[in-house]
Structure 1
Amino acid sequence: MAFSHENENPSHPRSIVVMDDIFCIFSGGLDNTFDLRKHYGLSRQATEAMIMVEAYKVFRDRAPYPPDQVIKELEGKFAFILFDSKASTLFLARDRDGSVPLHWGTATDGSLVCSDDSEFIQASCGKLYTPFPPGCIFISDTGLISFDHPMHKVKGIAREDDEGNVNAVIFQVDLYTKLHSIPRRGSAANWAGATTVE
């Protein structure tokens, strides 16, 4: 992971934190930092990056706490990249409006590259990059999901130029395709009228 303040947008500042072998680069700002600090038991000096590390620990350690619930609590304009080095887990997210730039792509060696700098990512990935989809979360264990529609697949649609070369990938929530969910277990009332949706 690399971090700098070069070409930083003053309305979307970047911050970085390393806590408990978890690295987080956060760009943007949260409107509800006071409430989130209180919720996670953090001091008034806690940055947005620190809040994201604590939020990540909640869904990591309190499984099956869904990550979309953690991200839905965030109000503001943001994008972040978080890497848990112990669990080898990568976690990315971007606000619903896509207010803060975040791009991802594939380098020539097959590595995933993420950056808010489109020139850097183009130099690293050539044409194999695209903006990270707004309102989405990517976790290396589970893949790409929408935090507003976590039970539906997010599909990448390739856009081709006149010569048949892929020049962009657009991501959309497929409201007709549901993801498999954890089967409900519990009282007989839960089973009485239950139907299975595939």
Structure 2
Amino acid sequence: MLAIFKNDLVVPPKELNSPASVESKQPEETLKEFLSSHANNAFSIGFVDKALIAYAPSERSFLAPQRLFCGVNDIYCIFIGGLHNLCTLNKQYGLSKVGNEAMFVIEAYRTLRDRGPYPAHQVLQDLDGSFGFVLYDHKDGTVFAALGGDENVKLFWGIGSDDSVVISDDVTLIKSSCAKSFAPFPTGCMFHNKEGLVSFEHPTNKLKAMPRVDSEGAMCGASFKVDVYSKVHSMPRVGSSADWSKWG
């Protein structure tokens, strides 16, 4: 999977940008590389000058996590992995029993955006399984990404040559596209383009940037870890103003 968001839509943590002066790629080059590596079964969607989303189904391997794509009313989600309690979640949110994980994320997002009383970290804590997803609400201009904490699914993010944010489960593609300005997406965390990066597993703790160097000693984009000694000033709010579109 591949998601690219322009810098006027998404501002990533500044530590993701490496000080090493290595040339990265334009979004169009990254998209071309992704599509050529999945020539028979990939597709992409462009959103004017805001975003690009590209998807290819999982390889036929028991070792490869499933990839799912869903789009409803200008909200798009790519989901990787699976949820053990999907049936329970669909019932809890009043959704179809046959809906898959990508559909659930979109419908849960819509419900909580419009009228839900639960903050995002509480919703994500209820997901039982290995998962990672990227959601884009084109009408609202919302980008929401999250990665579960069991490390069985991996996501990577980086910064392209035009300062776009690039997210993918393909580390080779990310390295090729973002050069030194990339890092693993932190486990147990969620990123919202209006509120930034937060741990949903430990929502009262701050995240700290961990410097990274490659095998040649060059600085790469920083990783992020929960700081067990530092607390945020307040708990994430619960109420109508604390939904997936504007949590804080």
> TM-score band (shorter)?
0.7 to 0.9
Q: How far does residue 105 in structure 1 lie from its aligned partner after superposition?
A: 0.5
Q: How far does residue 62 in structure 1 lie from its aligned partner after superposition?
A: 3.4
CA distance 1:8–1:101, change in 2 (3 Å): farther
Aligned to 1:130: 183
Q: How far does residue 131 in structure 1 lie from its aligned partner after superposition?
A: 0.9
Residue 2 in 1 paired to residue 54 in 2?
yes
Residue deviations 1:31-80 (CA, integer Å, cap 9, x gap): 00110110111112201001011222233223663100110110001110
Secondary structure class of the residue paired with 1:2: strand
Contact 1:8 1:14 in 2 (8 A): no
Taking the aligned partners of 2:190 and 2:171, their CA distance within structure 1 comes to 20
Secondary structure class of the residue paired with 1:181: coil
CA distance 1:5–1:172, change in 2 (3 Å): same
Contact 2:119 2:236 in 1 (8 A): no
Q: How far does residue 162 in structure 1 lie from its aligned partner after superposition?
A: 8.9
Contact 2:183 2:220 in 1 (8 A): no
In structure 2, give the amino acid aligned to 1:61.
D
Find the partner of 2:141 among 88, 94, 97.
88
Q: How far does residue 183 in structure 1 lie from its aligned partner after superposition?
A: 9.9
Residue pairs, 1:90-105, within 5 angstroms: 90-105=143-158
CA distance 1:161–1:113, change in 2 (3 Å): closer
Contact 1:59 1:70 in 2 (8 A): no
Q: How far does residue 176 in structure 1 lie from its aligned partner after superposition?
A: 2.6
5+ residue gaps, structure 2: 1-52, 238-248
Residue pairs, 1:34-113, within 5 angstroms: 34-62=87-115, 65-113=118-166
State which structure, 1 or 2, has the greater radius of gyration over its C-alpha atoms: 1
Give RMSD over aligned pairs.
2.3
Moved more, 102-111 or 53-62: 53-62
1 or 2 for the larger relative contact order (CA 8 Å, sep ≥6)?
Answer: 2
Secondary structure class of the residue paired with 1:65: coil
In structure 2, give the amino acid aligned to 1:33.
L
TM-score w.r.t. length of structure 1 = 0.84
Contact 1:58 1:65 in 2 (8 A): no
In structure 1, give the amino acid aligned to 2:55.
F
In structure 2, give the amino acid aligned to 1:30.
L
